[in-house]
Amino acid sequence: MDAYLLNVVNGVAYGLLLFTVAAGLTLALGVADVLNLAHGSLYVVGGYVAWAFTDGGWGGFVLALLVAVAVGALLGAGLSAAVAPLSKRGHLPQALLTFGISLLLIQALVAMFGADDLSPAMPAALDGDVSLMGHRYPGYRLAFIGIAVVLAVAGWMIMSRTRVGARVRAIVDDRDMVACLGTNPRLVMVGVLAASGALAGLAGALGSPIFGPGPTRAHDIMITSLVIVVLGGLGSIPGAFVAALVVGQIEGLGPLIAGDWTSYLVLGAMAVVLVVRGPRRLGLAAAR
Partner 1 sequence: MIARLSRWWPVILLAVLAAIPFTVDTWTVGTLSRTLAVGVLAISVALLTGIAGLPTLGQVAPYAVGAYLTVALAAAGFSVGPMQLLLAAAAGAVFNAAIGAAVIRTRGAAFLMVTLAVCGLTEEVAQQWTSVTGGSDGTGWMPAFTLWWGGADVTDKSTVYWYALAVTAIAAAAMIALNRSTAGTLVRAARDDELRMRASGHRVGVLLWGTYTVAGAVAGLAGGLLAEVVRFVSPSDVDLSASALVLLAVVIGGTSSIVGAVLGAAVLLVMQDQIITALGDAAQGQAPVVLGAVAVACVYLLPKGLSGLREHLPRRRRSRRQEAA
Binding site for partner 1 (CB under 8 A): 29, 35, 37, 85-86, 89-93, 95-97, 99-104, 106-107, 219-220, 222-223, 226-227, 229-230, 234, 260, 263-264, 267, 270-272, 274-275, 277-279, 282-284, 286-288
Q: Is 22 in contact with 243 (CB distance < 8 Å)?
A: yes
Instruction: Give which of 130, 136, 129, 126 is closest to 2, Cα–Cα.
Output: 136
Least Cβ distance, residue 91 to partner 1 (angstroms)? 4
Least Cβ distance, residue 37 to partner 1 (angstroms)? 8
Q: Is 118 in contact with 213 (CB distance < 8 Å)?
A: yes
Looking at the Cβ atoms of 88 and 163, the one nearer to partner 1 is: 88
Least Cβ distance, residue 101 to partner 1 (angstroms)? 6
Least Cβ distance, residue 286 to partner 1 (angstroms)? 5
Name residues whose C-beta falls within 8 Å of residue 88's C-beta, 6 or more positions apart in sequence.
none
Name residues whose C-beta falls within 8 Å of residue 207's C-beta, 6 or more positions apart in sequence.
17, 20, 43, 46, 47, 144
Note the Cα 232 to chain centre separation in Å: 13
Instruction: Give which of 239, 223, 219 is closest to 231, Cα–Cα.
Output: 239
Least Cβ distance, residue 116 to partner 1 (angstroms)? 15
CA separation (Å) from 90 to 33, 34, 82, 94? 9, 9, 14, 7
Looking at the Cβ atoms of 123 and 236, the one nearer to partner 1 is: 236
Least Cβ distance, residue 36 to partner 1 (angstroms)? 10
C-alpha 178/C-alpha 168 separation (Å) is: 9
Least Cβ distance, residue 152 to partner 1 (angstroms)? 22
User: E strands of 31-143, at which residues?
Assistant: 129-132, 135-138
C-alpha 178/C-alpha 19 separation (Å) is: 27
Looking at the Cβ atoms of 40 and 60, the one nearer to partner 1 is: 40
Least Cβ distance, residue 23 to partner 1 (angstroms)? 15
C-alpha 166/C-alpha 113 separation (Å) is: 41
Amino acid at 116: D
Looking at the Cβ atoms of 29 and 68, the one nearer to partner 1 is: 29
Backbone angles phi, psi at 244, to 5 degrees: -65, -40
Looking at the Cβ atoms of 148 and 230, the one nearer to partner 1 is: 230
